[in-house]
Amino acid sequence: MAGGVFSTTGGSEHHYNSKVTASVVITCVVAASGGLIFGYDIGISGGVTTMVPFLRKFFPSVLKKAAEAKTNMYCIFDSQVLTAFTSSLYIAGLAASLFAARLTSSVGRRNIMLIGGCAFLAGGAINGAAVNIAMLILGRILLGLGVGFTNQAAPVYLSEIAPPKWRGAFNTGFQFFIGIGVVVANCLNFAMSKLSYGWRLSLGLAVVPALAMTLGGLLISDSPSSLVERGKLAQAKKALGQARGEGAGVEGELADLVKASEAAKAAKREPFVTIFERRYRPHLTMAVFIPFFQQLTGINVIAFYAPVLFQSVGFGSDSALIAAIILGLVNLGSILVSTAVVDRYGRRFLFIIGGAQMFICQIGVAVLLAMTGGANGTKHIQKGYAVVILVLMCLYAAGFGWSWGPLSWLVPSEIFPMKIRATGQGISVAVNFATTFVLSQTFLTMLCHFRYGIFLFYAGWIAAISAFVVLLLPETKGVHMDEMGKVWKQHWYWRRFVE
């Protein structure tokens, strides 16, 4: 392809000479803030499900079970209706992400994010005003539509508009805003837990990040790739000039985008058919397995149910919410570490180091729970041991925060050629949501039956996914998105498919 010299070490020196401009920073911050609504929901749902007024109104059976003196600590919150409140969002998100993949080529990445923001805003308003479970589930479905649209478009937008040399750092902004959303939600849950109507405020205030993202989206242009794809070359040139700065090889980059777009249109094949061709087998494999494995690290079910989990292992209600806040802050700080080093040390290095750290921590939590909670979970865990569990969980969250958290959004968004990029990202997000739905719907039941073994279950998966990275994931740092095909041709296994 035109536009640069490829280095076998994974770097790429382009004639584009892209700069980090104020415009591209502001644009990427607005786009990355799409993660804010996702993170807010992850944090808010787990905390709300521990609030007594919320449980009394919608799930009185959970309160009754918690009041029983000899209840197995692992089974207090085992309620399929309660988990449906959390997991229903992901079925809607799955459908929305696949629909958005087909729609984004005609309406653009930015407009997909705007649609997502509006849907999330409506869902937050309905949840805050809910008077029955049906309203709760309806609100969750609208939230899911919002998250599905936003998660499909925002990571691709970030990868397309960021300078290739710093694409990893800019793209991790999406996960950083997810982390901010989780922390803000946990803090809000703690502040609202004493109020009889606090759960309404926690759920209803979801409209604030949705409104902020939507208004911000109105002020930015679409990505140059998306504009070229829709034939808006003058707007694409203007957007490139603002993002790259003067004298940054805008003409050359625009010409390469036009060539890629023309090649995509010349193929005249449905993207959902094209992506299953043999030459795109490596891309499709990563789009499916990376988000699938991200959820099998166990992070999201732990984030959803962190307050529930900490209450189960011996923390009081307030202490459990504070512990969840600490967990979120640690994760947020670790994402900043990833932002600083991902374009220096590469994706593979962080995946492997983070995986090893998470594996050790999951084993540690399982051993402590087995020793202190009893095989049947009927012993009360002493406060000192509960604190050690919190420390291990924080180290686990840190490992995720600088590896599988941001990189699972980054890698699928940067590996596809333009003609199937939206489709690939849609599939990736759909797999993420499908896996999250299954795991979130079954986690509390698994916790009840597996007890401390649930952490061994996730540790086993972490070992497997680390092996997957070592053997099958090529390094993509610094490689221009239009030259990504050379990465697969140099890989020991995937080259048989792309040559």
List, for residues 152-208, the tens digit of each pLDDT value. Answer: 999 999 988 888 888 888 999 998 999 899 889 888 988 888 888 899 999 999 999
How far is 494 from 257, CA to CA, in rounded Å? 25
Predicted pLDDT of residue 8: 34
Helix (H, G, I), strand (E, B) or coil at 307: helix
Number of H helices, E strands in the chain: 25, 2
How far is 114 from 221, CA to CA, in rounded Å? 12
The Cα-based distances of 221 to 101, 149, 195, 209 in angstroms read 19, 17, 42, 20
Q: Nearest CA to 42 among 289, 209, 212, 191? A: 209
- How many beta carbons lie within 10 A of that of residue 129, not counting itself? 12
How far is 286 from 339, CA to CA, in rounded Å? 21
Q: Nearest CA to 377 among 285, 324, 454? A: 454
Predicted pLDDT of residue 74: 56
CA torsion 408-414-420-424 (nearest 10°) is 0
pLDDT, averaged per 10 consecutive residues of the chain (499 residues), comes to 34 55 87 90 80 85 64 58 74 89 86 94 94 89 93 90 86 91 88 87 93 91 89 89 74 84 73 90 95 88 63 65 82 91 93 96 86 57 74 91 93 89 91 87 75 87 96 91 87 90
**Class in CATH terms, 22-220+267-497:** mainly alpha
Q: Return the structure tokens found at 95.
A: 């459908």
Q: Return the structure tokens found at 475.
A: 């390094």
Predicted pLDDT of residue 59: 79
Predicted pLDDT of residue 1: 33
Question: In terms of residues, how long is the chain?
Answer: 499
How far is 47 from 28, CA to CA, in rounded Å? 30
| Torsion angles phi and psi, residue 5, rounded to 5 | -110, 125
415 DSSP 8-state letter: S
pTM (whole model) above 0.85 = no
Q: Return the structure tokens found at 476.
A: 């993509």
How far is 426 from 97, CA to CA, in rounded Å? 5
Q: Which amino acid is at 203?
A: L
Contact 490, 12 (CB under 8 A): no
45 DSSP 8-state letter: H
Predicted pLDDT of residue 240: 84
21 contacts: CB under 8 Å, gap ≥ 6: 242, 243, 244, 245
Q: Nearest CA to 263 among 491, 474, 98, 421? A: 421
Question: Burial, 29: exposed, middle or buried (Cβ in 10 Å; 0-12, 13-18, 19+)?
Answer: middle
Helix (H, G, I), strand (E, B) or coil at 80: helix
Predicted pLDDT of residue 3: 34
